[in-house]
A and B are shown apart, each in its own frame.
Chain A
Amino acid sequence: MLRYVVQRIVSVVPTLIGVSLVTFALLHLVPGGPAVAMLGMAASDPKAVAAVTKELGLNRPLPEQYWIWLKRAVSGDFGMSTEFHVPVSGLLIPKLEHTLILTAGSLVYAVLLGLAIGITTALYNRSLFDRLAMLITLVGASAPVFWIGLLLSYLFAIRLGWLPALGMTSLVGSSSVLVVLKHLILPGFANSIISLAVIARIVRSGMLEALVQPYVLAARARGLPRWRQVVVHAFRNILPDAINITGLQVGFLFGGALFVEVVFGWPGLGDLIYSSIQARDYVTMQAAVLIVSAAFILVNLAADLARIALDPREV
């Protein structure tokens, strides 16, 4: 098993390299070339173009360009944002944190609600609750995340005024944890819906199978109370699958967070990418893509390792 863990960690390296290659390639896809991308509006100024060309080695062979770019990226220098006119690196880290918070919040929702729904529908199989829950989760999983976010925002924030819709920009300073959590309720839930549905379905079918296993009946025969049969025995045996599917969802939640941020004005990387797309700020966009991809890879790695740690028998 140790070998697998090491392999898994090591495999991250070529993937990261691959990601950097892809991101690097993106700059060159922009019509006009990287110079235009880096300079934006100022690209009509030949002096600025010359300066950038020299800095990035744009008239050197491609592999060398890549190396220069990579060195700068690793040292945190991504250039200047053409939209905000500040170094991109300063923008990235706090935004990354916010996105991670949103992802974590969505994960909590998806796991808790997914487990609750999955277990309850299995226990009350074929009941009205079961059918209704399965229908709602199916519909929820067929809807765009940002649309659900909008609906929730309309319902709970605008009409009912229970929860705040926007205004998370104040997180940049450190607001109290409570304020953050309050703002997290809606976007976190909106983002979690698809993953929630997936987890609920897997847990439900796993529990349905586990509950009819001989050892559950034997537990009943030996006089153990119902909750023990369900939790200690049935649930414990679907745990590996539940953890597995949850780990796979982390990536989707991360991606979905990017959309949800736009709807709720959550100051994360998705929000940054969105505004940089609008402003054609390729510098920021490319850096954000790189950071998000790297974070995505590492988050998936963490989820994978957690899965292995929680279930040493399965690999």
Chain B
Amino acid sequence: MTALLEVSGLTVRFGSPAGEVHAVEDVSLSVGAGESMGIVGESGSGKTVTCMSLSWLLPSPPARYVGGRIVFKGEDLRPREERKLRHVRGRGIGIIFQNARLSFDPAYRFGAQIAEVLRAHLDAPWKALRPEAIRTLRECNVADAESVLRKYPHEVSGGVAQRVSIALALLIRPDLLVADEPTTSLDLLSQIEVLALLERLRRETGLALILVSHDLSVVRRIADRVIIMYAGRIVEEGPAGEIFASPKHPYTQGLLASALQRREGEHLYELPGTPPDLAALPPGCSFRPRCPHAFARCETMPELLPVGAGRAARCHLLDPSVPHG
């Protein structure tokens, strides 16, 4: 089965006064139709830049697309082909943003903005599309959909805005929906609702989903496969259940440990140290300064190697060809 989306060797850098920031380094992933993938990492891990790059979305200065190949539905997407990309954006790959309210223009009402997007993709007048828009809003648990259409973004809560944004994404019927931290800026109740909504939509429409989050519990509920990112690289990947049951990479282990401890109300385990400065990465494994098991070999960057069926990790500890003791 050919994957819906195949990304290989994606490398993205940003120019900054402090030096060039290596935001994403050699990331490859693939998502099949109807599959759901979670991308986990702290802020600065490169997860957001990765998912924003899937349709070559980031404006090209300041971002620099150093390398990478993206194939969507069998078609090779090139960074500069705006016309083709414009059709893929929204229709093929939909995106919902962390702060949904900010993703809407404060100067226009929701109705106008929804209409604008629909008119750009579908060939029907707003009058014909409006009933379906209202229906979809209702399906996304937007109460009082009619009046929401007349409201301005600053007039609704973050939860409502997020649901509108999901409804909008769905209205153009994408094959893949990318959700960048969709619940992070919401209150707890809304978080649960939005996640439930996403799950239901997946079941009902067969939508493929990429969910990006720093929160493991969120990812655990929805993802089939999980990718763990650190300092711009993938450090572990595999089926969700297995990764959560037996994480192989020290970073993943640390993440899980701190999440678990927090839940059981015990003494907090926090990963020591802070994520590295992406403009001045030390040589070797980026996790070395914080890794409790680092040893001499870690001065060189480990490769991403298979560690079981459908699993891979980037760590010298797991590399059978590396002597360590």
Contact surface of A with B, Cβ cutoff 8 Å: 126, 212-215, 217-226, 228, 232-233, 236-237
Cβ contacts under 8 Å, A236 to chain B: 105, 107-108
Interface assignment of B90: CB less than 8 Å from any CB of chain A: yes
Contact surface of B with A, Cβ cutoff 8 Å: 52, 55, 57-59, 61, 82, 86-91, 94-95, 97, 99, 102-108, 116-117, 120-121, 168-169, 172
Beta-carbon contact of B86 and A215 below 8 Å? no
Beta-carbon contact of B103 and A214 below 8 Å? yes
**Given that A214-B97, A214-B102, A218-B97 are known contacts, is A223 also in contact with B107, CB under 8 Å in the complex?**
no
Instruction: Return B263 CB to nearest CB of chain A, in Å.
Output: 32
A264 to B177 Cα, complex, angstroms: 64
Which of A213, A214, A223 sits near B117, CB closer than 8 Å? A223
Beta-carbon contact of A221 and B95 below 8 Å? yes
Beta-carbon contact of A221 and B86 below 8 Å? no
Beta-carbon contact of A223 and B120 below 8 Å? yes
Cβ contacts under 8 Å, A232 to chain B: 116
Instruction: Return B71 CB to nearest CB of chain A, in Å.
Output: 19
Instruction: Return B220 CB to nearest CB of chain A, in Å.
Output: 26
Which of A126, A223, A226, A233 sits near B105, CB closer than 8 Å? A233
Q: Is the interface of A mostly helix, strand, loop or mixed?
A: helix
Cβ contacts under 8 Å, B106 to chain A: 215, 237
Beta-carbon contact of B116 and A228 below 8 Å? yes
Cβ contacts under 8 Å, A237 to chain B: 105-107
A232 to B115 Cα, complex, angstroms: 13
A233 to B108 Cα, complex, angstroms: 9
Beta-carbon contact of A226 and B82 below 8 Å? yes
29 sample A-B contacts, Cβ–Cβ < 8 Å, listed by A number: A126-B61, A212-B59, A214-B97, A214-B102, A215-B102, A215-B105, A217-B57, A218-B97, A218-B103, A219-B105, A220-B57, A220-B59, A221-B90, A221-B95, A222-B90, A222-B94, A222-B117, A222-B120, A223-B86, A223-B87, A223-B88, A223-B91, A223-B120, A224-B116, A224-B117, A224-B120, A225-B86, A236-B107, A237-B107
Beta-carbon contact of A221 and B55 below 8 Å? yes
Instruction: Return A89 CB to nearest CB of chain B, in Å.
Output: 47
Cβ contacts under 8 Å, B90 to chain A: 221-224
Chain A residue nearest to B153 (CB atoms) is A215
Cβ contacts under 8 Å, B95 to chain A: 218, 221-222
A233 to B104 Cα, complex, angstroms: 10
Beta-carbon contact of B99 and A220 below 8 Å? no
A221 to B97 Cα, complex, angstroms: 10
A20 to B6 Cα, complex, angstroms: 77
Cβ contacts under 8 Å, B99 to chain A: 214
Instruction: Return B283 CB to nearest CB of chain A, in Å.
Output: 32
A218 to B178 Cα, complex, angstroms: 12
In the A-B complex, the 8 residue pairs with the smallest Cβ-Cβ separation, listed nearest first, are A223-B90, A218-B103, A223-B89, A214-B102, A221-B95, A222-B90, A215-B105, A222-B117
Instruction: Return A248 CB to nearest CB of chain B, in Å.
Output: 22
A213 to B106 Cα, complex, angstroms: 11
Cβ contacts under 8 Å, B120 to chain A: 222-225, 228
